Structure 1
């Protein structure tokens, strides 16, 4: 059965899949990234994980993968196939596409940015399916964005298109690691909400999920913290929609797991700020933490079939665990 290898390399875990021509997930697996062992070890583990997936495909489906797609964090030169920099993984200028192609005898390899890959999947097969223009914004430790136009995701001239988290929404506000002050992600990311709620409630272990629960229970302090984050996020989103005119805003990441506790006040805050702009649909992401891996698979299929597979979200098809013969002590299956 014809298939591709898809890998989503994160700061703590690598998610992987074999994706069939019709988008079916034939095999899924997860392993620790092992960044504590250094960048060279991470690169070696990526290559080994991909090799194990290739071997599984041969054993189980009778042929090797037709292509490989890899999504990584940080700064990515997608055209050159180079993982330029990742603070989380500690690597610089890793020719990941060339390394994988060499390992697999010249098989086509696509290298993409993790958020843009996730946006590609959400746009084609997730919450933005059928939408010609969308903006995907995951709210996690930081805030990033992916600009979707007619089935593709824009990287920009220098590879950082969509970095909405570093739009200044509170001039002179909290300093950001990027060097600016008042960036959106310093006020509306899951990490920022966690920090603000921990300070407000006096519990250093409290996080954004705890804040959401406190909002739902009517805690006044939690509502103040939450509304400040919602207002900052709305300011950033309205700036983005003014520039990009998306038909749909797709919000994902950990903070979006709060559901309508987030989306009800956020939709109202955006609506209040819109004047001449056309109000877009504002919807939750549909693919969860599988979006990056699914996007990597789509990137791989685009190399060999520009029309792309008609992929199906993981909840609808595919095995929930890989074949036991491929499991090792370092692998956690999903």
Structure 2
């Protein structure tokens, strides 16, 4: 492999980190996954942060050993990112105001010096950016990426730009769509959030609560649905109803022309997408109706978005120096 300039890209979302060395033309010269350590409140999620730092440094060392020049580092994480201070709050990682950017800067500086810029961004926004630049949202100026996985968050493209909101935007999963006695307590502290009904984790949990039978995630619920299980059908119906409400609200407020659904649940294909299309169509009156499609970049979307953001930063820094 000929030496070239690369960025180090790491997506910390999920149970495994998705990592890559990515060239300026988008070619992934090296890809790997690594386990994300189980977060522990007793150490404030330190083991997770240490694993992330080690991964970034080792990927940079690999690039250097192969003769490549590391131009930038892109890291994307779940949770809420304070863009001004570079801190992250992520309940599933046991991070509370954790200075992730400062830790990354220190580790990268020790390995490569002061010349390598670092981008820290949200994993879902990065996935949406990748879909916007090279995936299912390419060619749009107003669109949304909505992955349905362990949790639910949205990446919003508005007037051709990715909306960050200083790191806080896009938490559609923590909007209230379930009311009354049906509302459940969300991990965020609110009752009735979309995520409590329509995430993959919620579907498995709600099926178990209805039946007393433990299932192996949303995939097994979908298998039971296909086999005609009435409890799986009710869990699925509740999830679809809440998702239609969320998509109608988003469409009314932001008017996307296309919505790309990603995450584990999109594996259901048209079993998911067609009812969403029909439900949204039936509810809209004056609003512009969006296309509802499957995202195309899969589990690599976040890593590819991290790489694209890192290359954008490298290019912007180069322009400033001219």
> Under a length normalisation based on structure 2, what TM-score does the superposition of the two structures give?
0.88
Determine helix, strand or coil for the equivalent of 2:55.
helix
Aligned position for 2:76: 71
Structure 2 unpaired stretches of 5+: 318-322
Q: SS at 2:144's partner residue?
A: strand
Contact 1:123 1:151 in 2 (8 A): no
Secondary structure in 2 matching 1:88 = helix
Name 1:59's counterpart in structure 2.
65
Higher relative contact order (CA 8 A, sep 6+): 1
For structure 1, the residue ranges without an aligned partner over 5 or more in a row are: 308-334
Deviation at 1:10, TM superposition (A): 2.9
Q: Cα deviation per residue 1:7-34 (whole Å; 9 max; x = unaligned)?
A: 1113532211000010000001111222
Q: CA RMSD in A?
A: 2.0
Distance in 2, Cα, partners of 1:85 & 1:177: 13
Q: Secondary structure at the match of 1:147?
A: strand
Q: In 2, are the aligned partners of 1:120 and 1:151 still within 8 Å (CA)?
A: no
1:154 matches 2:172:
no
SS at match of 1:50: helix
Corresponding residue of 2:51: 45
Residue pair 1:194, 1:206 contacting (<8 A) in 2 also: yes
Partner-residue secondary structure (3-state), 2:69: coil
User: 1:199-218, aligned counterparts within 5 Å?
Assistant: 199-218=209-228
Checking the alignment, whether the CA contact within 8 Å between 1:55 and 1:64 is kept in structure 2 is no
Alignment of 1:86 onto 2:94: no
The count of aligned residue pairs is: 304
Alpha-carbon distance between aligned partners in 2 of 1:42 and 1:99, rounded to the nearest angstrom: 12
Bigger share in helix: 2
Partner of residue 188, structure 2: 178
The answer as to 2:150 corresponding to 1:141 is yes
Contact 1:6/1:19 (CA < 8 Å) preserved in 2?
yes
Aligned pair in 2 of structure 1 residues 220, 42: CA closer, same or farther (>3 Å)? closer
Q: Separation in 1 of the partners of 2:46 and 2:223?
A: 41
CA gap 1:176/1:270 in 2 versus in 1, 3 angstroms: same
Contact 1:7 1:16 in 2 (8 A): yes
Could you say which residue in structure 1 is the equivalent of 2:121? 112
Are the equivalent residues in 2 in contact too, given 1:197–1:206 (CA < 8 A)?
no
Q: CA deviation at 1:130?
A: 1.1
Q: Which runs of 4+ in 1 moved over 6 A?
A: none
Distance in 2, Cα, partners of 1:41 & 1:182: 32
Q: Is the 8 A contact 1:11 1:89 kept in 2?
A: no
